[in-house]
Amino acid sequence: MDIIALKASATDKDIRHVVKRLESMGFKANISKGTERTVIGVIGDTSKITEEEGNAFEAMPCVEKVLRIIQPFKLASRNFKPEATVIKVGKHAIGGKKIQVIAGPCAVENREILLKTAKEVKAAGAAFIRGGAFKPRTSPYAFQGLGEEGLAHLAYVREKTGMPVVTEIMDPRDIDVILKYTDIIQIGARNMQNFRLLQEVGSYDKPVLLKRGLSATIKELLMAAEYIMSRGNHKVILCERGIRTFETETRNTLDLSAVPVLKGLSHLPVVVDPSHGVGKWRLVAPMAKAAVAAGADGLIIEVHVRPDEALSDGEQSLKPEKFKALMTELKAVAKAVGREI
Ligand code: PEP
Ligand code: MN
């Protein structure tokens, strides 16, 4: 039910006008006359009211405010599906009691380093290997990733370790090659509102890790998820990875309040990326622990065997031994909030 609050000056004629308009759209009106003002409750499936139609009510001179109770995102919303979504990937489940950890280098650099890193993070408790083959670099002169060769390295590592692969797609034209090699498709922050790309990944039955845009609101993130889901793919994992603020000490500001907010608004699993959230390896562990305490269903963490030689994001990458120590610390935090890791 949506609510239309009328101005104190609204007359009976105004009320009748609003009610008539609602009835002409197939809704019933519940009129509540207070001492100060009248509030009209809209009864019926108000999710069918478009944003434009809602705005048209707000534009009426007698209307103070229109409150949409049903969110503009529907398939992603908890109103629509109250129980939490658990996404199965191989023998792993994302969104259940177990907190899943995705770890690996920012970019796939070569097969040996990737395999070594995968073995280390797996031994420490990570279930998934991450690594970009198509990298969204700020500079066109920076390392852009190995492309399909990088994807083949990921597939090789999956075969050797059994770890499912998470890798980023940047262009709908790469969908076939990405589908061939990956278990979870990552949509990066810079592409969160690349609607054609969202529609493309929405057309396949492959889980999608959707990262929050650099300056995207939580609602925009959920609308991006809605783009994917509206095409039929409901296997969407939301990812908080830090947003742009005025703060410069950290690369981004990791918005951990987004975790409980998202969990309240949506049934989809929420993963936190503390690496891009802070941009400095020393800050990754405390924020990873805070993310688990805040209710995250998973973590995605950059790990590199030689961060000083990394071709991208070395400054925020953990060495395997630091990652291992973090995984041990996370166990206690997970237990404290009724989860396991
Ligand atoms: C990444 O995961 O390496 C990455 C590029 O992340 P983001 O899109 O969040 O910047
Ligand atoms: Mn990175």
Residue 335 region by backbone torsions, left for phi larger than 0, else alpha for psi between -120 and 50, else beta: alpha
| pLDDT value for 180 | 97
Q: Which fold, 87-336?
A: TIM Barrel (3.20.20)
Q: Which residue has the higher pLDDT, 98 or 72?
A: 98
**Average pLDDT score over the chain:** 96
pLDDT at 80: 86
Out of 128, 154, 186, mutate this one to test ligand 1's pocket (max ligand atoms within 8 Å of CB): namely: 186
- pLDDT band at residue 48 using 50, 70 and 90 as cut-offs: confident
- The tens digit of pLDDT for each residue in 270-311 reads 999 999 999 999 999 999 999 999 999 999 999 999 999 999
Question: What is the 266 CA–ligand 1 centroid distance (Å)?
Answer: 22
Q: How far is CA 108 from CA 31, 131, 153, 169, 248, in A?
A: 61, 5, 8, 14, 28
Q: How confident is the model at residue 34 (pLDDT cuts 50, 70, 90)?
A: confident
Give the domain ranges of the chain. 3-67, 87-336
* pLDDT tens digit sequence for 227-245: 999 999 999 999 999 999 9
Q: Which of 54-63, 96-105, 113-122, 227-236 has the lowest mean pLDDT?
A: 54-63
Atom number in ligand 1 closest to CA 300: 2
pLDDT in tens, 107-157: 999 999 999 999 999 999 999 999 999 999 999 999 999 999 999 999 999
Residue with CA at minimum distance from ligand 1 atom 3: 106
Dist. CA 105–CA 300, nearest whole Å? 10
Question: In this prediction, what percent of the chain has a pLDDT beyond 70?
Answer: 100
**Residue 223 pLDDT exceeds 80:** yes
Q: Which pLDDT score is estimated for 7?
A: 94
Buried b or exposed e, range 144-176, using 16+ CB within 10 angstroms: bbbeeebbbbbbebbeebebbbbbbbbeeebbe
Handedness of CA 12, 18, 24, 26 (dihedral sign): negative
Residue nearest to atom 10 of ligand 1 (CA): 189
Q: For 34, phi and psi rounded to 5 degrees?
A: -90, 180
Categorize the per-residue pLDDT at 70 as very low, low, confident or very high, splitting at 50, 70 and 90: confident
CATH class of 3-67: alpha beta
How far is the C-alpha of 89 from the C-alpha of 176, rounded, in Å? 19
Ligand 1 proximity of 105 Cβ (cutoff 6 Å): no
Find the angle CA(152)-CA(154)-CA(160) to the nearest 5 degrees.
105
Q: What is the pTM of this model?
A: 0.87
| Nearest alpha-carbon partner for 291 in 229, 334, 235, 245 | 334
Q: How far is the CA of 134 from the centre of ligand 2 (A)?
A: 11
Q: pLDDT-derived band of residue 194, with 50, 70 and 90 as boundaries?
A: very high
pLDDT band at 1 (very low <50, low <70, confident <90, very high): low
Cα 159 to middle of ligand 1, angstroms: 24
Closest ligand 1 atom to residue 212 Cα is 9
Looking at residues 65-70, what average pLDDT do you find?
A: 83
Q: Edge-to-edge strand order for the sheet containing 38-43?
A: 28-33, 38-43, 2-6, 63-67
Q: What is the 37 CA–ligand 1 centroid distance (Å)?
A: 49
The alpha carbon dihedral of 91, 89, 253, 117 has a sign of positive
The whole-number average pLDDT for the span 43-68 is: 88
**Residue 33 confidence (pLDDT):** 86
